């Protein structure tokens, strides 16, 4: 072979080898760049997914805290809370709908979530403090209500005692009578044992001494009821416990606080009387002083 031809073939082979080597090196470099870029994008996707999960969790915390923001009475704090909550929702939407293509944006989102988590802890601390304060106020309110109920109970007891005392005082002022009796009389004023023959009925009693009873004129009312339940006589009515009550007869006396013996109130018989039980009631000063049954033959 011609030396010149051989030399040309060698040079051509070297040139081809050089070209192939350059192409190989170039392909390797480009492939490495593509792999590095693909790896970087994969890392970005993983970081985006991780951030989305963290924002999702933070958003849930803000949603759960929403029902407790009613305890916050500070408008400025409520406004900042609402801004933070809206920001979490906005960034979560970005992570779910947009593909992050730069480490810079990932870093910004990481910094943002740190700040928003810090705000969340701050709001939780505020609400916990307010809850404790409200719990203290509720406990204090319960105690106050309990004390008020106790005081009201004590007042009611005192009122009942006072009412009872007033009632006892009123009762203490009441006239007291003893030896109440009912007898039938003849025309001459002597006792008639047979009720059918009686021309008069006499109610007798003694007024006991009582320093608590106001002195002065007292009007005594007597009611005599027959065995048939009919009121004997009918001289008029007197007021008793807010009602007008008819009576058989009455008598006025001057009471000085001393004993008044042998008080007698007469009723002239104007209707046939029968044997049986007669009820006698004596009233004065809006009190029923006595009520007794007498068996008349």
Structure confidence at residue 32 (pLDDT): 62
Residues 209 and 283 occupy one common structural domain = yes
Structure confidence at residue 112 (pLDDT): 84
How many structural domains is the chain composed of?
Answer: 2
Alpha-carbon gap, residue 135 to 154, rounded angstroms: 28
- C-alpha 143: how far from chain center: 13
Expressed as residue numbers, the domain containing 76 is: 3-131
Alpha-carbon gap, residue 74 to 128, rounded angstroms: 15
Rounded to 5 degrees, what are φ and ψ at 96?
Answer: -85, -25
Residues 191 and 264 occupy one common structural domain = yes
Reported confidence tier of residue 110, pLDDT bands at 50, 70, 90? confident
For 195-206, how does the pLDDT look when each residue is reduced to its tens digit (9 = 90+)?
A: 999 999 999 999
Structure confidence at residue 167 (pLDDT): 45
pLDDT at residue 168 above 50?
no
Which of 67, 101, 131 delimits the end of a domain?
Answer: 131
Q: Which H or E element spans position 259?
A: none
Structure tokens at 236: 């008029």
Q: What average pLDDT does range 69-90 have in this prediction?
A: 76
Alpha-carbon gap, residue 122 to 119, rounded angstroms: 5
Q: Say what percent of the chain tops pLDDT 70.
A: 75
Cα(first)–Cα(last) distance of the chain, in Å? 183
Domain contains 98: yes
Q: What average pLDDT does range 245-255 have in this prediction?
A: 95
Reported confidence tier of residue 192, pLDDT bands at 50, 70, 90? very high
Q: What average pLDDT does range 5-34 have in this prediction?
A: 61
Structure tokens at 60: 């849930």
Check: CB of residue 292 under 8 Å from CB of residue 180: yes
Average pLDDT of the chain to the nearest whole number: 81
Considering 74-83, 148-157, 279-288, the range whose residues carry the highest mean pLDDT is 279-288
Residues 14 and 121 occupy one common structural domain = yes
Structure confidence at residue 8 (pLDDT): 61
- Give the list of residues 6+ apart from residue 132 with CB closer than 8 angstroms, or none: none
- Give the list of residues 6+ apart from residue 65 with CB closer than 8 angstroms, or none: 120, 123, 124, 127
Q: What average pLDDT does range 225-248 have in this prediction?
A: 93
Alpha-helical runs (H) found in the chain: 3-66, 75-97, 103-173
pLDDT at residue 18 above 90?
no
Structure confidence at residue 95 (pLDDT): 79
Q: Name the residue among 166, 289, 266 with its Cα closest to residue 218.
A: 289
CATH number for the domain harbouring residue 182? 2.60.40.10
Reported confidence tier of residue 149, pLDDT bands at 50, 70, 90? confident
Higher per-residue pLDDT: 274 or 153: 274
Domain contains 127: yes
Residues 7 and 127 occupy one common structural domain = yes
Alpha-carbon gap, residue 268 to 282, rounded angstroms: 17
Structure confidence at residue 164 (pLDDT): 45
Helix (H, G, I), strand (E, B) or coil at 274: coil
Higher per-residue pLDDT: 294 or 27: 294
């Amino acid at each position: 072979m011609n030396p010149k031809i051989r030399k040309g073939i060698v040079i051509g082979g070297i040139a081809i080898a050089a070209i192939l080597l350059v192409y190989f090196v170039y392909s390797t470099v480009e492939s490495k760049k593509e792999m590095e870029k693909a790896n970087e994008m994969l890392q970005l996707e993983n970081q985006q997914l991780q951030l989305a999960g963290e924002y999702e969790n933070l958003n849930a915390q803000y949603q759960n805290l929403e029902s407790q923001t009613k305890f916050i009475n500070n408008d400025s704090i409520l406004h900042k809370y609402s801004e933070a909550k809206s920001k979490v929702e906005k960034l979560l939407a970005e992570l779910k709908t947009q593909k992050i293509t730069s480490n810079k944006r990932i870093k910004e989102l990481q910094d943002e979530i740190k700040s928003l988590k810090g705000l969340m802890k701050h709001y939780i601390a505020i609400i916990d403090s307010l809850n404790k304060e409200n719990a203290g106020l509720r406990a204090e309110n319960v105690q106050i209500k309990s004390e008020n109920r106790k005081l009201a109970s004590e007042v009611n007891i005192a009122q009942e005692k006072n009412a009872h005392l007033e009632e006892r005082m009123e009762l203490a002022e009441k006239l007291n009578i003893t030896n109440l009796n009912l007898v039938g009389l003849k025309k001459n004023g002597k006792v008639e044992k047979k009720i059918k023959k009686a021309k008069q009925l006499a109610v007798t009693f003694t007024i006991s001494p009582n320093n608590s009873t106001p002195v002065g004129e007292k009007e005594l009312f007597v009611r005599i009821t027959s065995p048939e339940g009919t009121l004997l006589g009918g001289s008029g009515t007197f007021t008793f416990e807010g009602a007008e009550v008819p009576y058989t007869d009455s008598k006025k006396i001057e009471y000085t606080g001393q004993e008044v013996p042998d008080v007698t109130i007469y009723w002239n018989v104007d209707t046939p009387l029968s044997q049986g039980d007669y009820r006698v009631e004596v009233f004065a000063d809006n009190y029923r002083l006595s009520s007794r049954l007498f068996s008349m033959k």
